[in-house]
């Protein structure tokens, strides 16, 4: 029996990277899955793979930064499957022109905040009532190690947006703890995903990240999916409000307690 048997899950950014790996893994463990992505072609590939393996899945096109889309993705999930138990607010962007405060354009800041921070807020806004109606469940918000310690390669908008995700996660965890709704932030370290590799577009930038990693390698999206599975499952029933770091030892090496 799968670890998510009988559960209904919604995953944003399901067309690639962490979202795709998590959607596949959740379905493997018995969840019925709503795959949400703005890129309909990439999302269709994820859904096709799950269907081919016998999973119960639906594709939903949505821009998570638009309130009407966020509301619709939840409504469509509940209509299709009859409820919602797990929400993984994972969709995010990392823009090439994101640097320090001086050189980063306001438009880059706004676009990053719209998806990475506002998108999580809107997801939670509409997911929480549905999860409450289902008797409780788990919300996982994708943050990042950079929200805790900053990035070696400057990306001020991305870092600030992920800091906002951490703050929202902690507050929502407190507000909804007595409603049987757990809210945690998954904080990946540097990953070998298309998103990060496009940002670290030179060997020098890649070396600058790798030199800080005790394990000496980038993480894999599939490893983050395993962490999300733990946070989604009843095995993490006493875990809420956490900054769940999956970073190859990076923060342990550089962040020391006061």
Q: Is 132 part of any domain?
A: yes
Q: Is 109 part of any domain?
A: yes
Per-residue pLDDT of the chain (258 residues; tens, 9 = 90+): 799 999 999 999 999 999 999 999 999 999 999 999 999 999 999 999 999 999 999 999 999 999 999 999 999 999 999 999 999 999 999 998 999 999 999 999 999 999 999 999 999 999 999 999 999 999 999 999 999 988 778 899 999 999 999 999 999 999 999 999 999 999 998 877 676 667 665 666 666 666 777 877 788 999 999 999 999 999 999 999 999 999 888 888 875 554
pLDDT of residue 151: 79
Catalytic positions are 158
Q: Is 210 part of any domain?
A: yes
pTM of structure: 0.93
pLDDT of residue 201: 59
> Which alpha helices (H) appear in 83-155, and where do they start and end?
106-113, 119-133, 146-149
**Residue 239: partners with Cβ closer than 8 Å, 6 or more residues away:** 182, 184, 231
Q: Is 108 part of any domain?
A: yes
Domain CATH for 167: 3.40.50.720
How many domains are there within the chain? Answer: 1
pLDDT of residue 208: 65
Q: Is 202 part of any domain?
A: yes
Q: Is 243 part of any domain?
A: no
Assign 195 to helix, strand or coil.
Answer: helix
Contact at 8 Å (CB) between 26 and 56? no
Task: Tell me the C-alpha distance between 135 and 179, whole Å.
Answer: 8
Can you give the residue range of the structural domain that contains 110? Answer: 8-236
Q: Is 249 part of any domain?
A: no
The single residue listed with the structure tokens 């999956």 is 246
Q: Is 241 part of any domain?
A: no
The single residue listed with the structure tokens 């019925």 is 32
Closest CA to 21 of 227, 159, 257: 227
């Amino acid at each position: 029996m799968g670890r998510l048997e009988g559960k209904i899950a919604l995953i944003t950014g399901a067309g690639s990277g962490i979202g795709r790996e998590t959607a596949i893994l959740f379905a493997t463990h018995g969840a019925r899955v709503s795959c949400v992505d703005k890129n309909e072609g990439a999302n269709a590939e994820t859904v096709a793979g799950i269907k081919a393996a016998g999973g119960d899945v639906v594709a939903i096109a949505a821009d998570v930064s638009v309130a009407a889309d966020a509301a619709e993705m939840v409504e469509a999930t509940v209509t299709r499957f009859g409820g919602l138990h797990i929400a993984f607010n994972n969709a995010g962007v990392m823009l090439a022109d994101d640097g320090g405060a001086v050189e980063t354009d306001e438009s880059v800041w706004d676009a990053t905040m719209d998806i990475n921070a506002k998108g999580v807020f809107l997801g939670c806004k509409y997911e929480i009532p549905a999860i409450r109606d289902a008797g409780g469940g788990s919300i996982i918000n994708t943050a990042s190690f950079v929200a805790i310690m900053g990035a070696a390669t400057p990306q001020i908008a991305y870092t600030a947006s992920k800091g906002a995700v951490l703050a929202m996660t902690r507050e929502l965890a407190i507000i909804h703890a007595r409603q049987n709704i757990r809210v945690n932030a998954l904080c990946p370290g540097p990953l070998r995903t298309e998103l990060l590799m496009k940002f670290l577009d030179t060997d020098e930038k890649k070396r600058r990240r790798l030199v800080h990693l005790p394990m000496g390698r980038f993480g894999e999206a599939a490893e983050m999916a395993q962490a999300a599975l733990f946070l989604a499952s009843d095995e993490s029933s006493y875990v809420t409000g956490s900054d769940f770091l999956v970073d190859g030892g990076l923060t342990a090496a550089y962040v020391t307690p006061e």
